[in-house]
């Protein structure tokens, strides 16, 4: 029940029609008696820099969830950003610190890491292949680096994107081994599809599945269907994996921590969510 004491989480992007977060967060807030609400705000590019700042001047602003087309811009609008956000070149969450400064972070990759850990997998010291160095691939690579992988191989159909991401990773994690240019999963402990391949029927698979070790852990970002052709193939090979929506729900507890909300779990959020 929204009242005059309710804290606002602005969900800022454009267009808003496909937003899912209000239907995930708000039923959970209601069930748990948390006096906060996620409010969709359709803000277009020219208005966004001013709107973000003014939103945070509201006395009941708790934070923002940032989505298309503002994630990259946000990095330049906040006063401080996490290494993860800096590496990926984007923020998807902003909060106001006590001193009024705005702090940005990026939790897409954190969802990947948390989901993997909760499935019992160790990340520290492993070798990961991330295919796709766009927004979500950069986010996952940055979070894997933060989580302690020893080595990351990056591949993108635009080699320059992979090369630049590699540079940013090395700048923040000098001990990390980073290589660019091959999408061969042989010998990798973690293999991630961070490309849109699999969204459309007839898309090629992002890597040669028969070269993935059955002991590897495979991640997928495509969410158009739960089991994409890539996941079906790695499942047949015996690999453990996580689906796209796992990453979505696994990252939400990280936002709760960031916004200072009470701890939660992906299961509790899924149980309350009303995503029809």
- Is residue 39 a contact point for a second copy (CB under 8 A)? yes
- Is residue 252 a contact point for a second copy (CB under 8 A)? no
Pick the binder of a second copy from 76, 157, 224, 274 (CB under 8 A).
274
- Is residue 73 a contact point for a second copy (CB under 8 A)? no
Choose, from 53, 71, 119, 170, the residue flagged as catalytic: 71
Here's the x/- map for a second copy, 232-251, by CB under 8 A: it reads as: --------------------
Pick the binder of a second copy from 31, 32, 35, 42 (CB under 8 A).
42
SS3 of the chain: the string is CCCCCCEEEEEEECCCCCCCHHHHHHHHHHHHCCCEEEEEEECCHHHHHHHHHHHCCCCCEEEEEECCCCHHHHHHHCCEECHHHHHHCCCCEEEECCCCCEEEECCHHHHHHHHHHHCCCCCCCCEEEEECCCHHHHHHHHHHHHHCCCEEEEECCCHHHHHHHHHHHHHHCCCCEEEECCCCCCCCCEEEECCCCCCCCCCCCCCCHHHCCCCCEEEECCCCCCCCHHHHHHHHHCCEEECHHHHHHHHHHHHHHHHCCCCCCHHHHHHHCCCC
- Is residue 26 a contact point for a second copy (CB under 8 A)? yes
C-beta of 15 vs 125, nearer to a second copy: 15
- Is residue 139 a contact point for a second copy (CB under 8 A)? no
Pick the binder of a second copy from 32, 35, 50, 224 (CB under 8 A).
50
Tell me, yes or no, if 53 is annotated catalytic. Answer: no
- Is residue 35 a contact point for a second copy (CB under 8 A)? no
C-beta of 1 vs 201, nearer to a second copy: 1
Chain contacts with a second copy (rule: CB under 8 A): 1-6, 8, 14-20, 22-23, 26-27, 37-44, 47, 50-51, 54, 57-61, 274
Question: Which are the catalytic amino acids?
Answer: 71
């Amino acid at each position: 029940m929204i009242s005059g004491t309710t804290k606002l989480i602005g969900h800022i992007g454009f267009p808003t029609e496909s937003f899912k977060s209000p239907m995930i967060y708000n039923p959970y807030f209601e069930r748990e008696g948390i006096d906060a609400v996620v409010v969709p705000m359709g803000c277009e590019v020219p208005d966004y820099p001013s709107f973000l700042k003014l939103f945070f001047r509201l006395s009941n602003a708790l934070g923002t969830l940032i989505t298309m087309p503002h994630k990259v811009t946000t990095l330049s609008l906040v006063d401080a950003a996490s290494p993860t956000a800096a590496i990926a070149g984007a923020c998807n969450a902003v909060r106001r610190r006590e001193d009024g400064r705005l702090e940005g972070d990026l939790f897409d990759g954190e969802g990947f890491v948390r989901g993997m850990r909760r499935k019992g997998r160790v990340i520290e010291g492993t070798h990961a292949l991330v295919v796709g160095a766009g927004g979500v691939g950069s986010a996952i690579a940055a979070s894997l680096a933060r989580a302690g992988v020893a080595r990351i191989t990056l591949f993108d159909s635009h080699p320059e994107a992979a090369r630049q991401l590699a540079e940013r990773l090395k700048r923040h994690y000098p001990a990390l081994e980073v290589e660019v240019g091959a999408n061969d999963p042989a010998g990798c402990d973690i293999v991630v599809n961070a490309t849109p391949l699999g969204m459309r029927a007839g898309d090629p698979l992002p890597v040669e599945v028969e070269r993935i070790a059955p002991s590897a852990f495979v991640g997928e970002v495509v969410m158009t269907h739960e089991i994409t052709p890539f996941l079906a193939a790695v499942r047949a090979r015996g690999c453990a994996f996580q689906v796209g929506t796992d990453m979505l729900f696994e990252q939400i507890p990280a936002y709760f921590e960031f916004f200072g909300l009470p701890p939660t779990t992906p299961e509790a959020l899924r149980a309350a969510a009303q995503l029809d």
